Amino acid sequence: MTAWSKLLVATTRLIDLHDSAHEPGSPFVQVSQEQRRGYRDGYWLDLGCLLLDYLLDVDFATNSAFVSQTRCLAQLREHYPRLPHDDLAFVVNLLSTPSELHFRQVSPTADTHSVEGEISRSMRSTKRTALIEKQGQTGQVRLTPSGRQAVTLASQVEDLLYSEYDAAKVLAALARGDFARIPDITNQILMAIRALTQELRRVRENPTREGKLSAFLDNERHYHNALSTIQNTLLSARSQLATPDVMQRFEHWCERQEDDWDLRMLAGAIGRVLNAIENLSRRLSELLSDIAEGRIQSMGVIDFADMARRLLSEPLHAPLRDALVNRMMPFGLAAAMPRVEPLIPLVETRRAEKSAAALVFDEHDDARPEDPLLARFLEARGPALRKRLGEAPLSLPDALSEGWHRFEEEDCLAQLLNTFVDTHLLGERLTVGIEADPFVITLADGRRIEGAVTPSLRFLPASEAAPHSEMETSDAAESIAAQDTYS
């Protein structure tokens, strides 16, 4: 979404409340979907936003001078080459026509209460809602104060990458002695950090959101640099709070304030942002580690929505269908209680541990790991695996019994399973077959692997390696994801 879209998302429902004809005190409180008029293709909104952005640029260059609609039309035709002048005239007339906005505010005599004991709030209205000022004779246009404020607000709807400039405002507030502004500035930075932290959590919980994942990877270094700049700036601000000059100016400032202020309030506001930075950087590092080790990729291989659509059009084979029904459908009337062992990884809190040390970034360590475990496993064991598959098919139980999951004194069970899910890791002609034989294997460390069906890898002849490999690979991924249980 663009900055204008984010601004409209935050205000659309407030406009719906303003325009609502709901009777006060009515017991009918259910809300239906608003029916909005228009073409619903975003054309007129896009023209208006482009026009407002252009008028702001001209406003700075000409010191708020009027601009002819011919210049506006030439600018908009860079985006819409066939834009007629009538469409521009309609947008100008609409944005230059004010609409009345009704609101309430506390009356000047706020100490007087109504009969019900509530503070009286008087009704007010304004018609200063026109975003463009239009001359009656020439038709030239420019931004109104309300329009200039709207464009400025839209340009400030940004993410964490631009919050480093907000952190510098804390130093400016300390230098000017405007201590009351510091909590508001830190809260703005805190909201941006928390928004990105929530996005990271959603990406890790749902790795199929490839758009967000690629955006994080593209801006990885920028996020680290922004966090480092914000952290260094706030650490400098917190150290200034302990200097005698700032402490003396703060005491003089507190004497002129009606509310009680304490220097620890400012230090606490800065400290909350530093703690949030530490939490965000840890989550970002964990996400990059998951990508490097192949965990995100292995989870994102299966498109479950597409698999559900295929199940509707092409039912499963009878053995695989019966295995799924037996494992997933509790037909008994007794309560189905899960085993404790599979739930233990879900309640582990190792990733939620907090560190008391302040996190300091080093740009030299920002590079993405160049030697992930999956890549090293394929590079070292890939030739031998391909040679083994050239001799005979390799089932999953046989691969485990032959020790293909052991590499460099490490357990590479997840990397071995990746070769059964993504067959292109080992070769283009590799395919996965499904046998309706269940298997149970107990590893040396006590883990048990069960499967209602047995996947096996084999190379197709060159004449047969065609469209069916992709379908069989998806079936293998489905089987491994749905059938194998680790305990």
Q: How confident is the model at residue 77 (pLDDT cuts 50, 70, 90)?
A: very high
pTM tops 0.85: no
Tell whether the model's pLDDT for residue 297 goes beyond 90: no
Question: Residue holding tokens 């709901």?
Answer: 22
Please name the CATH architecture into which domain 3-15+38-101+123-155 falls: Orthogonal Bundle (1.10)
Q: Which of 145-159, 178-192, 364-378 has the lowest mean pLDDT?
A: 364-378
Arithmetic mean of pLDDT over the chain: 76
| Terminal Cα distance for the chain, rounded | 44
**Residue 299: pLDDT band with limits 50, 70, 90:** very low
List, for residues 107-134, the tens digit of each pLDDT value: 655 454 454 555 677 788 888 889 999 9
What local confidence, expressed as pLDDT, does residue 471 receive? Answer: 44
Q: Which pLDDT belongs to residue 95?
A: 92
Residue 382: how many CB atoms within 10 A of its CB?
15
Alpha carbon distance 152, 54 (integer Å) = 12
The pLDDT, as a whole number, for residue 87 is 93
Residue 262 neighbours by CB under 8 Å, 6+ apart:
none
Helix axes 85-96, 69-76, angle to 10 degrees: 120
Domain chopping of the chain, boundaries: 3-15+38-101+123-155, 160-293, 373-486
pLDDT digits (tens, 9 = 90+) for 332-363: 556 666 677 766 666 655 545 555 555 555 55
Least confident of 3-12, 142-151, 190-199, 283-292: 283-292
CA–CA distance from 8 to each of 28, 435, 444 (Å)? Answer: 28, 55, 59
Q: By mean pLDDT, which of 23-37, 198-212, 253-267, 427-441 is the weakest? A: 198-212
- Residue 67 confidence (pLDDT): 92
Mean pLDDT of 277-300: 69
Lowest mean pLDDT among 64-68, 417-421, 438-442: 417-421
**pLDDT confidence bin for 74, thresholds 50/70/90:** very high
In the block, tokens 């001078």 appear at: 65
Q: Report the pLDDT averaged over residues 199-213.
A: 63
User: CA-to-CA distance for 334 and 362, rounded, in angstroms?
Assistant: 57
Q: Identify the CA nearest to 472 among candidates 432, 416, 424.
A: 432
- Per-position DSSP letters for 209-275, written without gaps between them: -HHHHHHHHHTHHHHHHHHHHHHHHHHHHHHHTTSHHHHHHHHHHHHT-SS---HHHHHHHHHHHHH
**Separation CA 144–CA 140 (nearest Å):** 13
